[in-house]
Copies of this chain bind each other. A is one copy, B any other.
Amino acid sequence: MEKRVTIYDIAKAVDVSVATVSRVLSNSSYPVSPELKRKIKAAAKELGYRPNMIGRQLKTNNSMTIGVIIPSISNPFYANVVLGIEEIARRSGYHVLLCNSQHSPELEAEYLQTLFDKQVKGIIISSISEQKDLINEYISKGLIVISIDQTIDNPDVYQIGFDYKKGGYLATKYLIENGHRKIAYVTAPMNRPSRHDIFKGYQEALLESGITLQEGWLQESALDDIEYQGNAYEFRNGRELVRKLLDLDDRPTAILACNDLTALGIINELHFQGVEVPNQISVIGFDNIELSQMVVPSLTTIDHPKLEMGRFACNLLLDMVNSKPIALKEIILQPKLIIRNSTSRN
């Protein structure tokens, strides 16, 4: 392995100064004679020169890198968000450092630190930490932070949100319009605002139709985020909670789940118990992950524009990095009802 070739090697080869080489090779707008330009480019190619970004970065203080901190990339929801982020980043010449916090506040904090140390221009985070002090501390040090899919209470944090409440409302309303009056909500712990907001929308829709939420309709998992074990957690959650629903004297005819994975668990258990979906019980999911259209029965669900969320977040981040004027400091993406085959008229 030969030593890496630097602009000094090229300067020597063409017999010009490093400044001229730098001007040509970094596409500076500074004028250089076409003749030299050609020779320098030729020499660079000849010698197999590749710029050392670390050197450039130290000088320009621009790492052209953004950090992304999410709970886990194995969650198809986040995978799509990240895909959207990376797409926009790439188009602007940026790279993405991917960090899975694994639902651990400690890991999240550690990543926040090391990303800052690596001079990322900004980070996009879906924080699972209850404590936002550390984030605020880094913001005060100049770090640009975009929060996705959940609220950080700091005027300097720009947010890309999603109207979960309306999503919960739309889903519940749809069930009611289809003749359902006994509707349950099955959810992972509501310590995450998103899940609680879905509940609020659900409540509102019930209220609006004069339906009183019955004891037992709300099934909330007791487990903590900590106990997440990949996506199997959500699935198992659905399976376990729906059993309690079946035990009720007056069974619901429809179930709203806090996400598609949970809905799959619910359907799975119902199938196992000999209850037909949607004939006997309708099930509606949340998020519209790609797989929700691939299962049988395909999932009626609420679409969450994941790719767009990623794109929005990254565009916003890049605008802030480049100190462009920011139109909106908070974007709330809108839910959309996707009607498929896991729901039917009652």
Interface residues of A, Cβ cutoff 8 Å to B: 1-2, 4, 48, 50-55, 57-58, 63, 65, 72-74, 76, 79-80, 82-83, 86-87, 90, 93, 95-100, 107, 113-119, 137, 140-142, 230-232, 235, 261, 264-265, 267-268, 271, 290-291, 293-296, 298
Task: Looking at the assembled complex, report how far the CB atom of A69 sits from the nearest CB atom of chain B, in whole angstroms.
Answer: 12
Known: A53-B118, A113-B50, A142-B1. A73 touches B83 (CB 8 A): yes
CB neighbours of A1 from chain B (8 A): 140-142
Number of copies of chain A assembled together: 2
Task: Looking at the assembled complex, report how far the CB atom of A266 sits from the nearest CB atom of chain B, in whole angstroms.
Answer: 11
A290 & B96 in contact (Cβ 8 Å cutoff): no
B296 & A271 in contact (Cβ 8 Å cutoff): yes
Complex CA–CA separation, A50 to B119 (angstroms): 10
Q: Which of A63, A86, A118, A298 has the most CB of B within 10 A?
A: A118
Task: Looking at the assembled complex, report how far the CB atom of A184 sits from the nearest CB atom of chain B, in whole angstroms.
Answer: 20
Complex CA–CA separation, A73 to B306 (angstroms): 13
> Which residue of B is nearest A239, CB measured?
B294
A264 & B294 in contact (Cβ 8 Å cutoff): yes
B97 & A97 in contact (Cβ 8 Å cutoff): yes
Q: Pick from B79, B98, B142, B232: contact of A76, CB below 8 A.
A: B79
> Which residue of B is nearest A289, CB measured?
B291
B63 & A74 in contact (Cβ 8 Å cutoff): no
> Which residue of B is nearest A271, CB measured?
B296
Q: Pick from B87, B115, B296: contact of A295, CB below 8 A.
A: B296
Complex CA–CA separation, A232 to B48 (angstroms): 41
Complex CA–CA separation, A117 to B235 (angstroms): 42
CB neighbours of A2 from chain B (8 A): 141-142
Known: A74-B79, A290-B232. A4 touches B52 (CB 8 A): no
> Which residue of B is nearest A51, CB measured?
B117
Known: A55-B58, A230-B290. A95 touches B118 (CB 8 A): yes
10 additional A-B residue pairs with CB within 8 Å, beyond A54-B58, A230-B290, A235-B294: A73-B82, A73-B83, A74-B83, A76-B76, A86-B100, A95-B114, A97-B98, A261-B294, A264-B291, A268-B294
